[in-house]
Chain A
Amino acid sequence: MAAPVGSSSGCWSAPEVYRHHEQRRVCISRPKYREGRKAKAVKVYTINLESRYVMIQGVPAIGVMSELIQLCALYGVVEEYRPLDEYPAEEFTEVYLVKFQKLTSARAAKRYMDEKSFYGGVLHVCYVPEYETVEDTRLKLQDRKRYVVRTVQNKAREEEKRRILKEDTVSADLATTSETIITRPDTEKPETSNIGHYYGFPLLPLPPQESPYNPHRGMPKEDKMGTLYTAVTETNPQPISGSSQPSSDRDRSTRQKVNSEQSAAVRFVPRTTQLENRKRKMEEDVEHLSADPQSNNEPLIGPKLPEPPKIDMEDESLNTTMNMIRNTMKKVESVSCPKPLEKKVKPRRRI
C-alpha cells in the first residue's frame, strides 16, 4: 500500500504516498507512568525521518494558502511552498508542501500545527524527507552529528566541573553560583548559531539556559515568597528609565523602573505586560506634554507643582498600587482641564 507507485519519479510525476505520511493510530494501552501529555502513536524518530520539508494535509480548500504559510512562518523562515495538487487528499481539502530553511523550524511547526484546527479543518503535518536532495540529506546528517557530539561534550564538561567543585567541599550555595558562571560560556554556542544550515536540535527552549544572560551578576536569590522581586531591585539600584526626567517625576517613575528591572533580571515578561508597560509609559509622556503648553514661558527645570505628600505603605506592592491610583487621578485631572480651555479660546480668536 505504501510502496511507491510510479516507476519514473521525475518532478512531474504525481507525488507518492509513503507509509510515514500516514497518521498512526494513537496508542491507548500505555500504563500511567509512560503516558505523555499528548496521546501518541508508537513510533521511533530518527534523523532519517526528520526533514526541513513538511507536508500539511487537511487544509480546507477555501483559498487559505497565504494564511497557512503565515502560520508556518511563525515557526521559522519558509523557503518554498506549493500545493501538492496530485496528492490524494480528502474531499474539500488541500495538501501543501512547505520547505523550511531549518530543520528546527520544521520540527516546531510539526509540533505545534499537527492536529490543530485551521479554518474548520484539522491539519496533519508530517515530515517528507523524500523531497530532500542528496545535499540536504548530507547536511542534515552532518549537522545532527555535530550537534550530538557538542552537546555530549558540553554535558561531560559540566559534569566534570561539578564533580571537582563537590570534591572541594564548597558550600552548596556557592557551588551553584560559581558553577553557573564558569560553565555557562561553554553551553552557549554563539559561533554556529546563525551559520549552521540546520543548526541545533534542541527539543525545547530550555529553562536553565535563560540564566546565562548576565553571568557576572550571579543568580538572583529568591525570597521566601519565591519571587525574585526584592533581590533584583537591590542588586541593581540605578534607574533605567527616567534618568533624564525632572526630579519631581522620579517618584512617579519608580513603579515603572521596578517593572523594567524585573524584566531585565527575569528576562521573561509576557507580551501583554510589555504592551501595558509601554502603553503606560506613553501615557505618562503624553501627560508631560499636555502639561507643558501651560508653562510655555517657564523654563522646564525644577518642580512645577508641589505634589501631594506620599505615604509610604512600607510595602512595595502597596506603594505600586498607590502610585498607580495617584497617576490615574492625575491623568483624569490633566486631561479634563486643558481641553475645555482650548475650546473656549479658539472661537474668540476667530471672531
Chain B
Amino acid sequence: MWKKRSYDDSERLEYLQTLVTEFQDTDSEEAKEQVLANLANFAYDPKNIEHLKELQVTDLFLDMLTEENENFVEFGLGGLCNLSMDPECQDIILQSSGISLVTNCLSSQREETVLSAITTLMNLISPSSRSEITNAAMVQCMLRFSLSESPRLRNLAAVFLQDCCTEEEVAQFKQQMQGQQTAVGIPLPKD
C-alpha cells in the first residue's frame, strides 16, 4: 500500500515536471494557457504543493502576473491563490516581492483575478508583512470594493476589512478617503 502510494507520488512529480517543461518549451499561447490552468488546478490539492514548490511553480505563477494576456494573469493568480494557503509558499511569495505584484492585479478588469488577488493578499499577511498589506491604499481599495455591486467582491472585501485590519485603521482610512475624495484610480472589475 505504502509502496504504491510513494510510486504514485513520484509519478505525479514526473507528470508535473512534464507540464512545466511543456510550458517553458512551447510557443503556442493556447497550450501555455492550458498548462498554466492545469498547474493552477494542481495547486489546489495540498498533496501537490510540495512538488510544485520543488519545481518552482510559485515563481512561474508570479511571472504570469506581469503578462499582457489576461488569461495568463487570471490563471497565474489563481494558482498563487491556491498555493498561498500553505505557509511555506507564503514565504516564497513574500521573498519574491509578491505583494506588489499581486497588489497590481487588484486593478484588473476581471472579477476572478481581483478575487484571487484579495484572497492571496489575505493569505500573505504575517506579522512581518502585515504593515505592507494593510496600508492606507489597500484599505481604501477594500473599502471601495466593499461597496461594489458584486456580492462576491463585497463579501471578500468585508472579510478583509473585518479580519485583517483593526477597526481604528478602517475608520481612520475611511475618514481620509472621504476627506480627499479620491475614489478614482482603481477601476472596478467588469465581470
Q: How distant is B79 from chain A, measured CB to nearest CB, in Å? A: 7
How far does the alpha carbon of A149 sit from the alpha carbon of B79 in the complex, in Å? Answer: 16
Residue numbers in B under 8 Å from A42 (CB-CB):
33-34, 37, 71
Q: Do A3 and B190 have beta carbons less than 8 Å apart?
A: yes
Q: Do A44 and B37 have beta carbons less than 8 Å apart?
A: yes
Q: How distant is A232 from chain B, measured CB to nearest CB, in Å? A: 15
Contact with B along A202-223 (1 / 0, CB 8 A): 0100001001000000010000
How far does the alpha carbon of A19 sit from the alpha carbon of B150 in the complex, in Å? Answer: 12
Q: Do A134 and B155 have beta carbons less than 8 Å apart?
A: yes
Q: Do A176 and B2 have beta carbons less than 8 Å apart?
A: yes
A151: CB under 8 A from chain B?
yes
Residue numbers in A under 8 Å from B85 (CB-CB):
47, 144-145, 148-149
Chain B CB within 10 A, most for which of A2, A20, A34: A34
Chain B CB within 10 A, most for which of A7, A18, A134, A144: A134
B169: CB under 8 A from chain A?
no
Q: Which of A328-351 contact B (CB under 8 A)?
A: none
Q: How distant is A142 from chain B, measured CB to nearest CB, in Å? A: 9
Q: Do B152 and A44 have beta carbons less than 8 Å apart?
A: no
Q: From B92-100, B114-122, B136-144, B179-187, give the one contacting chain A.
A: B114-122
Residue numbers in A under 8 Å from B158 (CB-CB):
134, 137
How far does the alpha carbon of A138 sit from the alpha carbon of B164 in the complex, in Å? Answer: 12
Residue numbers in B under 8 Å from A49 (CB-CB):
112
CB contact between A208 and one of B1, B49, B150, B156 (< 8 Å): that residue = B1
Count B interface residues, CB 8 Å: 53
How far does the alpha carbon of A48 sit from the alpha carbon of B44 in the complex, in Å? Answer: 12
How far does the alpha carbon of A159 sit from the alpha carbon of B50 in the complex, in Å? Answer: 11
CB contact between A48 and one of B18, B86, B88, B112 (< 8 Å): that residue = B112
Q: Do B123 and A203 have beta carbons less than 8 Å apart?
A: no
Q: How distant is B81 from chain A, measured CB to nearest CB, in Å? A: 5
A46: CB under 8 A from chain B?
yes
B17: CB under 8 A from chain A?
no
Contact with B along A168-205 (1 / 0, CB 8 A): 00001001100110000000000000000000000100
Residue numbers in B under 8 Å from A121 (CB-CB):
none
Q: Do A44 and B74 have beta carbons less than 8 Å apart?
A: yes
Q: Do B152 and A48 have beta carbons less than 8 Å apart?
A: yes
A85: CB under 8 A from chain B?
no
CB contact between B81 and one of A7, A46, A175 (< 8 Å): that residue = A46
CB contact between A149 and one of B19, B86, B115 (< 8 Å): that residue = B86
Residue numbers in B under 8 Å from A176 (CB-CB):
1-3
Residue numbers in B under 8 Å from A219 (CB-CB):
1
Q: Interface size class for chain A?
A: 35 or more
Residue numbers in B under 8 Å from A29 (CB-CB):
30-31, 34
Contact with A along B1-23 (1 / 0, CB 8 A): 11111100000000000110000
Contact with A along B110-154 (1 / 0, CB 8 A): 011001100100110000000000000000000000000111100
Residue numbers in B under 8 Å from A33 (CB-CB):
18
Q: Do A162 and B6 have beta carbons less than 8 Å apart?
A: yes
Q: From A74-82, A125-133, A238-246, A274-282, give the one contacting chain B.
A: A125-133
Q: Do A46 and B1 have beta carbons less than 8 Å apart?
A: no
Residue numbers in A under 8 Å from B155 (CB-CB):
132-134, 136-137
Residue numbers in B under 8 Å from A116 (CB-CB):
none
Chain A CB within 10 A, most for which of B35, B44, B151, B163: B151
Q: Do B81 and A47 have beta carbons less than 8 Å apart?
A: yes
Residue numbers in A under 8 Å from B34 (CB-CB):
27, 29-30, 34, 42
Residue numbers in B under 8 Å from A144 (CB-CB):
85
Q: Do B86 and A46 have beta carbons less than 8 Å apart?
A: no
Supply 19 further A-B pairs (C-beta < 8 A) apart from A29-B30, A45-B78, A148-B49.
A2-B190, A4-B149, A27-B34, A33-B18, A34-B19, A34-B38, A44-B74, A44-B75, A44-B78, A48-B119, A129-B152, A136-B155, A137-B155, A138-B163, A148-B86, A149-B86, A155-B47, A172-B3, A211-B1
Using CB atoms and an 8 Å cutoff, list the residues of chain B in contact with chain A.
1-6, 18-19, 30-31, 33-35, 37-38, 40-41, 44-47, 49-50, 71, 74-75, 78-79, 81-82, 85-88, 111-112, 115-116, 119, 122-123, 149-152, 155-156, 158-159, 162-163, 190-191
